[in-house]
Structure 1
Amino acid sequence: MKNKAVILGSNYYIGLSTIRCLGIHNIYTVAVDYSDQDRYGSDSKYCSERLISPHYRNEKEAFIEFLKDYARKEIVPPVLIPCHDSYVEVIDEYLDELREFYLIPQTEQGLYTKAMNKETLERMAKEQGVLVPETIRVNEDNFFEKVDSIIKYPCIVKPTDSPSFVAKFRKKIFKVHNRAELEDALEKAQNAGLEVIVQRIIPGFDDHMYTFDAYLNQDAKVTHWTTCQKFRQYPINFGASVYTGQRHVPELYEIGAPFLEAIGYKGFGEIEFKKDAETGEYYLIEINVRITNLNNLLYKVGMNIPYITYRELTGEPLAPKAITENTNRVFWYAYEDLLAIKGYIQTGQLSLGEVMKSFFKPKAYAIWSLDDPKPFFSYCKMMVGKIFKR
């Protein structure tokens, strides 16, 4: 009997692409969400079962019991795939407990959380000789003097715990241009009970952002990998990928693979780098420790991450593979890209001509699929509803 795949979070296109990547191989997919609202990913024809669970944060223990109760009824353990950072955090917290019932790539409890936390990630990177942007902690002596002399303005105020910060402020960072703005940003974070750090901005436009996307097996060795280059993100300059292309950059493998292997990482991980426009050096910005926005792009260029994960955990690993040619294919999340384009043009960072020229590339769409159109129409209905509600 085949193992099922339990997918946490179908209310975003990451969950949708994960369901599709497994469903095309006739794997039984179970979409788990805490609400019936806006879960357009579960409308995929490849979704076999839809469940509503207790809230992963508000009812954490009930959520874990829900997952265990579901797995207890199965003859063979399901594969568990979280598709949002908040799900990863709770799975990591209860990892040893859940591994008795589910197949999960990571075996070291707490490692995913350490990799997500900006402060512990910085320490791990430095231990392995990987460059990270200069950082000052709020409780350091002579804090403002160090910001003036080492970080300089403009700089960014960045959370150590991204999911909580994004949930509160609907943005990934605060960009500040002077001491008054810095003090205001620190006060907002303090009032929200969130820990932040202050970091130097690595020079370079958004197309200096790159990713190293890799799967590491149960021996913590890279078996599958490729690299990508961002072209546009939203919010602009410090946001998520909305128009990103696969591009072979071997230097990223030389930095990223040894680092992930050294820290004992297992499963899929995506390291975001920024290339310094002045020095050409690559700085590690963050690690995504779950399926990411680019999942459909990776699938389209020949690297089906959810299926790679499933096959290894169920004892039938796929042969190692690296995408080392330039495919010219891009990931496109049209709705947020249009918002980003507006921002880039308004700030003079891109011209309309540059934007139009970029569109003539084969696409990996975030939501649309001719083979599986229903989620797209559900998404459109959801967006129209939100517009009218405003």
Structure 2
Amino acid sequence: MNKAVILGCNYYIGLSTIRCLGVHGIHTVAVDYNENDRYGSESKYCSERLIAPYYKEDPKGFVRFLIDYAKNQSITPVLIPCHDSYVEVIDEYLEELRECYFIPQTEKGLYTKVMNKETLHSLAMEHGMAVPETVRIDEENYIEKVEEIIKYPCIVKPTDSPTFVATFRRKLFKVYNREELLAAIEKAQKADLEVIVQRIIPGFDDHMYTFDAYLNQDSKVTHWVTCQKHRQYPINFGASVYTEQKYVQELYDIGAPFLEAIGYKGFAEIEFKKDAETGKFYLIEINARITNLNNLLYKVGVNFPYLTYRELTGAPLEPYAVKEDKHRVFWYAYEDMLAIKGYIKTGQLTRKQVFVSLMKKKAYAIWDWSDPKPGITYFKKIAGKFLKKR
């Protein structure tokens, strides 16, 4: 009877969340800030479509909209964000929103701590987690430290990823010398964005792994899955476009104690990179909301949106972990085609390697034969952009 209010359905993360809840008959409410590209809410499992004030331009109005909606319901709804910016707003107004919504996290500020690259770095070091060597640009003689400790090439990385991505349409700057380093920092400063400089952990994109977990209200990991990335877009420093479920016990052994120690609650995805030279896993970032891989996680046996809903509404599911390889991959076909072109052009992959990889069983980002409308809507959008460009 509790409704599930899903924030951000103009992307396939929101779509997969709607489906994961809708298949269990849960009333889903898709909330966006405009009507453009909200193909996720075209799903047959979407029960309500709402337009709220734009959270970036009017965060207070957005929160007031959510509160007013919840107060008009006879039973407390569950609130599920599907984008980092929504998580930031929830964290800022956590106390007010928790009065009328079920939200896993109870500690205000913790979402922000794990999403912010600088505070996450400090938090990880406090708990003995391996993190890439980092230099802050407000340190004395930071350029010399970069050149002595980190060396080139290195990355200039934002502390606030959502704003950086919205500004530059990329996750970071890769620099090869002092001139490029200074130019990248200047770009960030002109945009009023804080950045850090970090060592690149050696290894191809298939050295990127994820530990996806749910922690209950006692901050204990109850469900988890591990995955291995194969391709990203943009290549080397982008989002997953072709990722396989892969059982790696070591990721649980590293990630679970850390999340439990910091008192985390709800869903989290830790991204790791395995050093190609030493085999050591380094923490790269944490996603504090449902992620790109959600449909893959669902297909291999863990429905994170649903188990979140069940625990918060008083009917938790039995603990479960995927401790075998299911040989299924997440595939975002459109961006993977762009990625493949880049990998082949740069000589990082051959056509044969790509062809062989595509033979695996898929968990599609958007397409679903039993729920085709979102996929058709998305295809029309891409086709329209292509024709316009031509």
1:182-221 to structure 2, matched below 5 A, reads 182-221=181-220
Partner of 2:2: helix, strand, or coil? Answer: coil
Partner of 1:175: helix, strand, or coil? Answer: strand
Q: What's the CA shift for 1:382?
A: 1.3
User: Aligned partners of 2:226, 2:15: CA distance in 1, in Å?
Assistant: 22
Deviations for 1:297-327, whole angstroms, at most 9, x for unmatched residues? 0000000000000000000000000000000
1:301-320 to structure 2, matched below 5 A, reads 301-320=300-319
Q: Residue 35 of structure 1 aligns with which residue?
A: 34
Q: Residue 3 of structure 2 aligns with which residue?
A: 4
Deviations for 1:201-251, whole angstroms, at most 9, x for unmatched residues? 000000000000000000000000010000000000000000000000000
User: Aligned partners of 1:131, 1:234: CA distance in 2, in Å?
Assistant: 25
Partner of 1:251: helix, strand, or coil? Answer: helix
User: Aligned partners of 1:222, 1:309: CA distance in 2, in Å?
Assistant: 12
Amino acid at match of 1:346: K
Partner of 1:35: helix, strand, or coil? Answer: coil
Q: Residue 148 of structure 2 aligns with which residue?
A: 149
Unmatched tracts of structure 2, length 5 or more: none
User: Aligned partners of 2:381, 2:35: CA distance in 1, in Å?
Assistant: 12
Amino acid at match of 1:148: E
Q: Residue 377 of structure 1 aligns with which residue?
A: 376
Unmatched tracts of structure 1, length 5 or more: none
Amino acid at match of 2:306: Y
Q: Give the TM-score normalised by the residue count of structure 2.
A: 0.99
User: Aligned partners of 2:387, 2:328: CA distance in 1, in Å?
Assistant: 35
Q: Residue 348 of structure 1 aligns with which residue?
A: 347
Q: Residue 242 of structure 2 aligns with which residue?
A: 243
- RMSD of aligned C-alpha atoms? 0.6
User: Aligned partners of 1:326, 1:120: CA distance in 2, in Å?
Assistant: 34
1:68-87 to structure 2, matched below 5 A, reads 68-87=67-86
Deviations for 1:2-22, whole angstroms, at most 9, x for unmatched residues? 100000011000000000000
Q: Residue 48 of structure 1 aligns with which residue?
A: 47
User: Aligned partners of 2:387, 2:359: CA distance in 1, in Å?
Assistant: 33
Which of structure 1's runs of 4+ aligned residues deviate more than 4 A? none
Q: Residue 289 of structure 1 aligns with which residue?
A: 288
Q: What's the CA shift for 1:384?
A: 2.0
Deviations for 1:170-199, whole angstroms, at most 9, x for unmatched residues? 000000000010011001000000000000
Amino acid at match of 2:260: E
Deviations for 1:157-179, whole angstroms, at most 9, x for unmatched residues? 00000000000000000000000
User: Aligned partners of 1:233, 1:142: CA distance in 2, in Å?
Assistant: 34
Work out whether 1:103 is the aligned partner of 2:102: yes
Partner of 2:164: helix, strand, or coil? Answer: helix
Amino acid at match of 2:127: Q
Q: Residue 121 of structure 1 aligns with which residue?
A: 120
Partner of 2:382: helix, strand, or coil? Answer: helix
Work out whether 1:58 is the aligned partner of 2:66: no
Q: What is the number of residues matched between the two proteins?
A: 389
1:167-182 to structure 2, matched below 5 A, reads 167-182=166-181
User: Aligned partners of 2:143, 2:288: CA distance in 1, in Å?
Assistant: 33
Q: Residue 90 of structure 2 aligns with which residue?
A: 91
User: Aligned partners of 1:354, 1:214: CA distance in 2, in Å?
Assistant: 31
User: Aligned partners of 1:389, 1:370: CA distance in 2, in Å?
Assistant: 28
Deviations for 1:137-160, whole angstroms, at most 9, x for unmatched residues? 001111111111100000000000
Partner of 2:189: helix, strand, or coil? Answer: helix
Work out whether 1:24 is the aligned partner of 2:23: yes
User: Aligned partners of 1:59, 1:139: CA distance in 2, in Å?
Assistant: 32
Of all paired residues, the percent bearing the same amino acid is: 73
Q: Residue 297 of structure 2 aligns with which residue?
A: 298
Partner of 2:45: helix, strand, or coil? Answer: coil
User: Aligned partners of 1:103, 1:389: CA distance in 2, in Å?
Assistant: 44
Q: Residue 361 of structure 2 aligns with which residue?
A: 362
